[in-house]
Every structure is written in C-alpha cells, then in structure tokens.
Structure 1
C-alpha cells in the first residue's frame, strides 16, 4: 500500500492512490484529520471540484515528483538521496498541505503573504533539518501550488508587510538555529547530533538577531546593513568549511557536526539575504526622523497652528476639523493640504479628515500613509467621515465607532410631539427665570469665569480618570476666540450650566454652523439645563443664518446591532464597561431628543494586525495624563458599579 520509489520500480502503480488513505500509526490519524480543515475551507469558498483538484493533484504530483527527484539524486552517490531511494511513505499530508497553501488565495493582503511565509518556512525547515520523504513531498506540493496560483508576489506587498516579514523571518531564523543544536537532524547535508553544534556561533547570531529584529520591523537602515553583514559572514564560514573538506577530505581535521550546522545555517541565511536585498527600499528610515521630512531641497516645512486655522477658514472642513487647532497635535504637510495627527506607541493617529480642498483629499491620504510607513509608524484615521472612508486603499478595514448627530437648522421649529422634552425645558426655564446668553469666554467677567471653572473642575473631580482629550475639549480649548459659549444664568447670577461651540466651515470658507464640545452643569442646579442650552443655542444660530448644528458623536456609543464584525461587538462590550465612568451611551441617548440625522464616524486601519497597537495608542491619546494607578482605580470602580 505504501508509495515511494521502490513501489514504483516494482510496478505497484496504484500505491500513490491507495497509500493516501493510510498513516504510519493510528495516533497520526488525529493530526491528519485536523489537516483536512484547509481542504474544508477551500471547498466552502471555492467549491468541491476546486478542493478535490488541489488535493488530488497536490498529492499525486508530490509523490511522483519526489520519486523522480530521489531517483536522479541517487545517481550521484548522495547518502541522503540513497536513504530516501529505499524509503516508503503513506498518508495524505502532501495533498492537505497543498490545500492549506491554496487557501492563501482566499485571504486579502497582507494575510496572504503571511500565510505563504509560514507555509514556506515550514517546508524549508522540514527539508533542510529533517529531510524525510514526507518533508520533500510537502515541499513539492507547496511549489506546485505556488506555481499554479502565483499568489506570493512580495514586490506587490506594502512597505509595512515587507518589514513585518523580515521581522518574522529573522525571529524564525534565530529560533531554528537554536533548535538545531538541541535536537538531532538528518537533512540533505548529513546527520547531526544534539548538543554537538557550534554553540558560540549560534549564540553570537542569536544575540545579533535580538538586537536587529525589532529595528527591521521599524525599517531601520543600520539593522538592514548589520543583518547583511552577519548573514554574509555565516555564508563565508560555511563556504570555507565546504572548500576545506572538498580539497582533502581524508586529512582534514574538521568536526563534521559543526560543518553541517554551518552549512544548514548558511542556507537559511542565503534565502534571508536574497529577501532583504529584494526589499532593500523598505529599510531606509533613520531614528527620530520627523514625519514627512525629506532629504534635499523639496522638504516641506512643518505647518503651524495658524496655518491650520487659515486653511480651515479658506477651504473648509468637517464638523470635527476645528479640533485640529488644539494642543498636542502634530501636522503633516502634503502637496494639497494638512493632516493633523498624534503619535503614540509607534502609531500615527490622524484626527478626522485631512484638511484642504476636497479634490486633494485622496492625495493627502496617500502621502500620509506612505510617510507613516516610511517612518515605521502604523497609520490610521480616527473619527473620519465618509469621504476619507472612500479614499483610503480598498484593502483597509473600517469600523464605525460613533455617529455624528447633526441637526439641520433652516426651518427648525420645536413643534410636534417629538420636541416635547425641549419645549418643557424652555417653558420651565422661563418660569424659573433662567436666562440664556451666547458669549465668548474672554468677554465674561472674572466672577463668571471662576464659576465656569468651578463647575468644570467639579465635574472632572467626580471621575477616577482625568479629563479626556483628543476629540474632547477642555476649558483651555474654550478660551479660543473662535469658540462660543452658551450660558444658562439664574436670576441670582449663578451659572447653572454651559456649552462650548466650535466653528464649522464649509467649501470656500463659508461658515456653515457649530459643533458641540463642552457640556457642563452645576451640581444640584436647574434640571433640564442641557436641553434648554442646546435649544436656545439652536434658535440663536437659526437667526444668524447657520445651516447645521452638530451635537458631535459619543465615542463607543455606536449601535452595532446590524454589524457582524467581532471587533465592533467587542467595542460595544467595552462601552458597557466604561458607561459608569464616562456615560457615553447615556449621552448618545440624550442627543436623540433633538431629532438629529446621523452620519457614521469611522476608525480606518490597514488590517486586524494593527489593532493591538492602535488600541493602546488611542487610550493614551484620550488620556495622556492618566497614570497606571488611576487606570487601576478606575477599573476597580467599574467592577464595583457592575
């Protein structure tokens, strides 16, 4: 039943077929059946016929191809080939591995390249270090699929993927070299014994790999050069061993185990160096290089806050664009505009949509992504709108994180049942003599300013975590002369509550409306003060001719009932945990009283592999001053309230 070169030479032509239904021992049936998961996935996505073709052809070509290679190699008195020439094998592993490799065509970039690297690394290590008949069959099956699908094209991989693959290969290379010393091997270059290899060489290589691995992921030029030097040295040493043994094998005093380890290591290093040379353009970054900085005369000067203000007033922006003028942001200058962003933990978080003319937005997004990747930063867009969503590369992922609540002002009246809560608040304010005033912070008296700060500090003091930033303003941002304040003042002169409104500019710098930022109320004061302030502000803006009023979006308050993305549901659960601390969901429900229309706000990112870094970066962006102790205390408080 077993297949192999002896079976074919003896005329047992049926063995490549029937041998696929057996394994070498009953225990092997368990991993064998598990390996059929790749074929099941392929059948589910591509159909039964395609899955059977990949499995059948992969198995048959692997078995026959291995026999042919072994028959030719055995003519050269090669000990490894001689041992395989008399070996037999059973099992469908070559066919199932062909199906697993074919599953790469089902994946989007960059997961396609990552799966290919894992599969190729598996068969390469198998052939070089263990060299059994099955290992050679696996390699031929993978080569068959790679030839048919041609889905592994590293030159089409993104800058980030090339660096990530170099990072993975470097780590794997170090691990394989260490394991080769701990376990016996028997590959094409001959057998080696455990614990008999070149420990000093492997130790030096491993230390150097640890030094350069993370730097390769970040695209550092020095790491690329050092890796080339280390790899070249390994190849030269292996070449010297082979040369000395080939000149006079009888008299040479060389430990064959050490020589074989050196040759095995050099073979792996050679493949890695070929990859590094082919992707050399991905390793050009230098430490602490400003985002967008270029060598030469065409370097663009970094924009200032005044440049950002002028661009918004000239070209317009979205409802969140004025937040680009706040402290803590960096600015990346493009040929057509400016991208505001924050940098945390190796992530460049672009805030909202790029600034500048609408026709240049695509170019700004592309330039920002390229500059971020060139500087080994993970690019993403937070609180982006639909235009940015449509302009990012098609392979990017999108996640609706909130909804911008917009009230259209022309013709706005508070008539009808849906506005009953608002009318009640206005009538009660009139009865209790609570007055409304639209103003600016700089125009108010010292006493009013002190009341505003006291209200704000009282609100912040109730939280276990400090006041949030990034897309949530503070009293510092309210001091901007362009920002307006809505005050509710009692008959006794006490401030019951206040709002801050950010300006919204449209195309050609036309003033379109206002975006709500701060919402603060005095503890124990006028109950429906927020409904009163928002309604009164809307009436004032209608009289001034404004077009829209944005109540902004509450983070983590997006309804995910219609979404299947697991990350969206994870954020929904996180929102439930954070609700006792920040009340995002309650705020979202409150804004529904004003009958707004909704526009989704997105987090845009390259793929799921970036989320592990984007998450901590966003936490630091929102809570730049929070300490580890505050996070712990807030977590305990959340658990208690749950």
Structure 2
C-alpha cells in the first residue's frame, strides 16, 4: 500500500510539474491577489498595525450589520486586508497552498470562479444562515457573531483548497474531504469565531463548485465535462464514521479538560451517558480507531 501511495504521489507531482511548465508557471490570479493584498495593507499601514478597533475595519470589513445596512460592497472590499499583521502571513500561506496549486491544475478562470464563489458565499451564508438566526435567539454567541467584522481572502483560499481535492486520485478524494471537514470543525469547536464558520461553508462551496468545473483527461486532449460524482463505497463511509467517532472520544478525553471553550462539555461528549472516566473514553476512542483501520482493510473480524 505504501508503494502504491508513493507511486500515486510521484505521478501526481509529475503531472503537476508538467501543468506548471505548460503554463510557464504564470499564475495571474494568484499573483494579482497577493499583489493587491500587499499594496492594500502597505497603504493602510496594516502591515505593521492591527486594524481591529480601527475605523478601517468599519469601512471595509464585512459582517451582519453592514449586510443589514445594504453595504454589499464589503463582500469585496474586505478581501485584501487582514485583522493582524501575523494573520497576513498565515493568509498568504493559505493562498500559496490553496489558490496557487488550484490555478496550476485548473487555470485562472476556474480559480477565479471557485475563489469568489467560496469567498462571497462563505461570508454571506455565514451571516444569513448562522449569525442572524443565532442572534435572534438572544444567545451570547449569536450576539458576538452578529457584531463581528471580518476581513481577508481566507474563505476563498479554503474554497480553492477544497476544490483541489477533486484533482487527487479517486481513492484519495474522500480522505481529503474528511481531513478538511475535521480541520474546519476542529477550529470551529475551539474558537467559535465567525471566520471559522465562513471557512466551513466556503469549503463546502469550493467542493461543489470545484466538482462542477473539474476536468478529465480523454486521450491526448483535455475535455471539460461534468465529472460523475464519486459516491464513496459503503465501507469507506463506515470507516470515516467509525474513525471520526474514535477521534471525538480521544479529543474529548484529553482536550476538554485543558481548553476553556470545552470545559463544560462533560455532558455532551460521546459516552457521557455512561459516566465513564476519561481513561475509559480515551481507550474506547482508540478502540474505534483500530476498528476503523480493520474495516479499511476489509477484515470481517473488524465488524465484531
């Protein structure tokens, strides 16, 4: 299996390099995005200073309040900026690992479509489907989401990274989707921030848009076709669900006692109804992970 995975990775890397050379490594969309980010932050002074609490955030930042006021322009004006200088570094990294590779394999037009669909859709649906309803309930979390302002192209970058999954070997696609989902949910659980909701929604939009725009090789040429949706095998679904349950148990046993956002989860985590110790929960989680590994290899005993 390791040798096969290595061969697939080598073939994918070779194909990626060939596509890059065919495009002469010219990435107009990625280059324009990074240049716009640098110029906007240099002019505004946010290369060295935070814009949190600054009037600039009210002018360009997107949130539920600007949406209610009809300021739809903030869906676009927020893109080049970052709340903090260190966030600019992380966002640049996201662009380099998400937007740039997708532009290499899919071209700048598809990259622009996926990026803006994910960026705008992630922001808009996070406000309409999550922040607005939760704020109407009067909850403290809902109020914080409703009053938050966000900037930066990270939602679009995550959308491109999610769309890139469809260019992986077929048997790795659902593993990539599961890994992204765990990443998005993990950050959302820990931070409860509006941008993590945006990233989760943007990732789903990127997956859907990327699937619609995916290219498939046909002989010597490349034709644009609607790729048949690769429904996972039932065994793969079982593996993902079992391993996810195991990871949640291990996570709940070791993390809930150390992170302030999760200290009150003792009654919500898996196996809480059994009133088991953290050791029991951790061992149960490890057992589920081993069970999932057995299912992945098709062992009948793993079903016991």
Among 289, 294, 300, the residue aligned to 1:218: 294
Q: 1:206 aligns with which of 265, 282, 301?
A: 282
Q: How does 1:162-177 map to 2 (within 5 A)?
A: 162=237, 165-166=240-241, 168-177=243-252
Check whether the contact 1:183–1:193 (CA below 8 A) recurs between aligned residues: no
8 Å contact kept, 1:112–1:152: no
Paired with 1:103 and 1:168, the residues of 2 have a C-alpha distance of 24
Aligned to 2:103: 43
Check conservation: 2:243, 2:292, Cα contact below 8 A.
Answer: no
For 1:129 and 1:214, how far apart are their aligned partners in 2? 26
Q: Does the CA-based 8 Å contact 1:167-1:217 persist in structure 2?
A: no
Correspondent of 1:100 among 134, 142, 161: 161
Deviations 1:503-556 (A, max 9, x none): xxxxxxxxxxxxxxxxxxxxxxxxxxxxxxxxxxxxxxxxxxxxxxxxxxxxxx
Query: For residue 156 of structure 1, what is the aligned residue in structure 2?
Result: 232
Gaps of 5+ in 2: 1-59, 213-226
Partner of 1:52: 112
> How far apart, in 2, do the equivalents of 1:143 and 1:152 lie?
18
Q: Does 1:30 align with 2:89?
A: yes
Contact 2:117 2:206 in 1 (8 A): no
For 2:166 and 2:182, locate their aligned partners in 1 and report how far apart those are by CA, in whole Å: 18
> Cα 1:133–1:152, aligned 2, differ >3 Å: closer, same or farther?
farther
How far has the Cα of 1:2 moved from its partner? 1.0
Alignment of 1:507-526 (within 5 A): none
1:421-432 matches, cutoff 5 A:
none
Contact 1:3 1:90 in 2 (8 A): yes
Q: Does 1:74 align with 2:130?
A: no
Structure 1 residues 359-374: aligned runs within 5 Å:
none
Partner-residue secondary structure (3-state), 1:72:
helix
* Aligned 8 A contact 2:148 2:194 in 1: yes
* Pairing of 1:375-454 with structure 2 (within 5 A): none
> Which residue is equivalent to 1:386?
none
Residue 6 of structure 1 is matched in structure 2 by 65
Give me the whole-angstrom Cα distance separating, in 2, the residues matched to 1:175 and 1:25: 33
**In 2 relative to 1, CA 192–154 (structure 1 residues): closer, same or farther, beyond 3 Å?**
farther
Cα displacement (A) at 1:181: 2.5
Work out the CA distance in 2 between the residues paired with 1:93 and 1:175.
Answer: 29
Give distance in 1, aligned partners of 2:80 and 2:245.
38
TM-score after normalising by structure 1:
0.31
* CA displacement 1:458-496 (0-9 Å, x = unmatched): xxxxxxxxxxxxxxxxxxxxxxxxxxxxxxxxxxxxxxx
Task: Map Cα deviations across residues 537-588 of structure 1 (whole Å, 9 max, x no partner).
Answer: xxxxxxxxxxxxxxxxxxxxxxxxxxxxxxxxxxxxxxxxxxxxxxxxxxxx
C-alpha distance in 2 between matches for 1:201 and 1:129: 22
Q: Structure 1: which 5+ runs fail to align?
A: 221-281, 288-373, 375-642
Higher share of residues assigned strand:
1
Q: Count residues in correspondence.
A: 220
- 1:178-577 superposed matches below 5 A: 178-185=254-261, 192=264, 200-219=276-295, 285-286=300-301
Q: Please give the secondary structure, in 1, of the residue aligned with 2:255.
A: helix
Of 183, 186, 196, the residue aligned with 1:122 is 183
RCO higher in 1 or 2 (8 Å CA, sep ≥ 6)? Answer: 2
Task: Compare CA radii of gyration and give the structure with the larger one.
Answer: 1
Of 99, 121, 131, the residue aligned with 1:61 is: 121
SS of the counterpart of 1:219?
Answer: helix
1:242-280 Cα deviation digits (max 9, x unpaired): xxxxxxxxxxxxxxxxxxxxxxxxxxxxxxxxxxxxxxx
What are the Cα deviations for residues 166-185 of structure 1, in whole angstroms up to 9, with x where unaligned? 56424532343122321122
**Cα shift at 1:212:** 3.4
CA RMSD of aligned residues (A): 3.2
Mapped contact 2:250–2:285 kept (Cα < 8 A): no
In the superposition, the TM-score normalised over structure 2's length comes to 0.63
